[in-house]
Each structure stands twice: as structure tokens, then as C-alpha cells.
Amino acid sequence: MSRGLRGRDLLSVQDLTAEEVREILDLARHLKREHRAGLSHEVLRGKTVALLFEKPSLRTRVTFEVGMRQLGGHAVYLAPQDVQLGVREAVPDVARNLARWVDGIVARVNRHATLVELAEAATVPVVNALSDFEHPCQALGDLLTVQEKVGALLGVRAAWVGDGNNVCHSFLLAASRVGMWVTVATPPGYGPDPAVVAAAQEEAARRGGQVRVLTDPVQAVAGAQVVYTDVWTSMGQEAEREERKRTFRAYQVNAELLSHADPHAVVLHCLPAHRGEEITDEVLDGPHSAVLDQAENRLHVQKAVLSCVL
């Protein structure tokens, strides 16, 4: 495991170099093979992380708790009502207290600025388990899944269809670091942050990849080896749901849209899915879907991240 990552925060994919992304993926593949062979590596024996969550979770909570257990460590889950960041207690005070008891903080927060506050005050590593701006552990799991299903990363063509949200941001930043070609299709006004796009385009150009943003979903998926979508309405946007359903209707990943992709295209979705909205049952449960492999791979990439930073 990397000594270069030890003690560092992971708030954004941009905190990782291209080489560090590949190192985490290599370690994740190794840990996955060893786990399936019944072998254990208790490299975090005696270590504890706090799971500090402002938002509910299935995959993130379970994979971090199970991951720490498989590595010989322990996780303490703090639910939204337990801490009430910034309400019951100031964010820096929470960070400084936790740093006296645990070896790392895994935070799932409403605002990315909260992560920054935690990291500035804590003397232990802080890992982003989702914010409104990024979801780096998800993106690392996505890359591992693409590598397994397509057989490569460099030059692989991927399409993102739907909302240019936090998951989209991290996927663009991660995919560009491994030389993938990514085309994003969103309705006008719903594209990813321009600064993220610019950073991803610059990195992709150095790595032999490409990043494009457009509005035509058919054009985006044409020949794509990977087709990725996410919910149209994220947590906190419930008031916009009906409007978003109308705006995004043409961006549904269904059999017709998928017919324009590579015949062996892999479909990704970070879950949970709103079935019948951004994706149909036929596609989500069909032969192209890799969503359960993708969900499983969160466990292994997060084990790799924790092994490196702790």
C-alpha cells in the first residue's frame, strides 16, 4: 500500500494523481481476489474510523462498515440525528473531538464545504463518502467495474446521460485520469460544473482521453462501451421532481437509447434507481447491466482507500 497516501484526506478525485488512482485500483483488485479466495489481510487491526453521516445510505454505510471489519478494524456509525453538524455542535469542534478518539473520519454530508471544514480542523484523514459536489469513492468503484467488464480503461468510450451532478463530476475527474473518452449529455442548464469539465478535459488531454459535454443523448451513446446514468432528482431536490421528470424525459436509458451504443455496452448506475424514470427495468435488470458488480466494487475500492490513508 502507498506510503504517499498515508495520512492524507480524500475529499475529491482531484486529490489523487493518475498514478495514485491506478495504485488504488490495483490494490482493490488484489483485495477482492484475496477476499474471494477466503484470505484475510487485517492491515487495519486496532484502527477505528467514524462514519459521520448527514444523509441516509445503504451501499456507503454497509461497504465502509464491512470493509473496516474485513481489514481487522472497526467503524463507529454516527447517524444524522446523533451529531447534527453545525447545529448541535460546530463542525470544527466535532472534527477536533473525533480526532482524539478515531484514526479517520468518513463523512457523508449535505454540503462539500462541511467536508473542507472537517478536514481543516481534524488531525486524522477525512474521506468523502458523498457531498453535493463529489462522490470520489463511487467513481473509483466505477473505474474498477469498467476495467473488469471491458478489460481496459485507456481509450474506453463512456457516455453519461442525465443530470450533471456530483457523481458525474467525480466520474469525469476519475475517467480523465485513466485516459477514457467520456461524452456527457444533459438537458440545457443541467450540465456538470464548468470548472470540473475544464479540469477533466485538461487531464484527459494529457492521458490520451477526451471529455465532451452536449445535449443529445443519442449522439452521446453512439458507439459507447459504457453507458452511465443516475437519478434525475437527488436527495434535497425533491421539490423539483415533477419539473425534472418532464425536462429529462428524453434522457431515459432504455432499450431504444441503448441500441445506439456498442452491442456489448456495459450499463452503470450508482443506485438507488428510480425505476421507470432515468432507467427502465428492462435495462437495469438486463444483460448489459453491471450495477450489482459496481455496488460490490465499492467495498473493495474503499478497503483500498482506507488501507492507503490509514
CB 303 within 8 A of CB 283: no
What residues does 210 pair with on adjacent strands? Answer: 181
Task: Looking at the structure, tell me whether residues 278 and 130 fall in a common domain.
Answer: no
How far apart (Å, rounded) are the C-alpha atoms in residues 204 and 18? 10
- What count of residues does the chain have? 310
Q: What is the pLDDT of residue 2?
A: 53
Show which residues are catalytic.
108, 135, 138, 230, 270, 298
Assigned C-alpha cell, 113: 464545504
Are 199 and 253 in a shared domain?
yes
Same domain, 180 and 267: yes
The per-residue pLDDT string of the chain (310 residues; one tens digit each, 9 = 90 and over) reads 556 899 999 999 999 999 999 999 999 999 999 999 999 889 999 999 999 999 999 999 999 999 999 999 999 999 998 998 878 899 999 999 999 999 999 999 999 999 999 999 999 999 999 999 999 999 999 999 999 999 999 999 999 999 999 999 999 999 999 999 999 999 999 999 999 999 999 999 999 999 999 999 999 999 999 999 999 987 677 788 899 999 999 999 999 999 999 999 999 999 999 999 999 999 999 999 999 999 999 999 999 999 999 9
Residues 214 and 116 in one domain: no
49 three-class SS = strand
Q: Is residue 271 domain-resident?
A: yes
Tell me whether residue 81 is in a domain: yes
First to last CA, the chain: 10
In a domain, 5, yes or no: no
Q: How many domains does the chain have?
A: 2
Q: Which domain holds residue 110?
A: 13-134+298-309
The DSSP-derived string for 234-302 is -TT-GGGHHHHHHHTGGG-B-HHHHTTS-TTPEEEE-S---BTTTB-HHHHTSTTB-HHHHHHHHHHHH
Both 162 and 287 in one domain: the answer is: yes
**12, 128 in Cβ contact below 8 A?**
yes
Q: Is residue 54 part of a domain?
A: yes
Mark whether 289 and 305 lie in a shared domain: no
Q: Is the same domain home to 113 and 178?
A: no
Same domain, 142 and 290: yes
How far apart CA 130 and CA 40 sit, in angstroms, is: 28
* 122 & 145 share domain: no
Alpha carbons 167 and 137: distance in angstroms, whole number? 10
Residues 129 and 154 in one domain: no
Same domain, 174 and 126: no
The half-sphere exposure of 26 on its side-chain side, counting CA atoms within 13 A, is 10
Q: What is the pLDDT of residue 90?
A: 96
Spatial CB neighbours of 41, under 8 Å, sequence gap ≥ 6: 31, 34, 71, 72
Find, among 216, 210, 195, 234, the residue nearest to 158 by Cα.
Answer: 210
180: domain CATH number is 3.40.50.1370
Query: Is 4 in a helix, a strand, or coil?
Result: coil
Same domain assignment for residues 126 and 264 = no
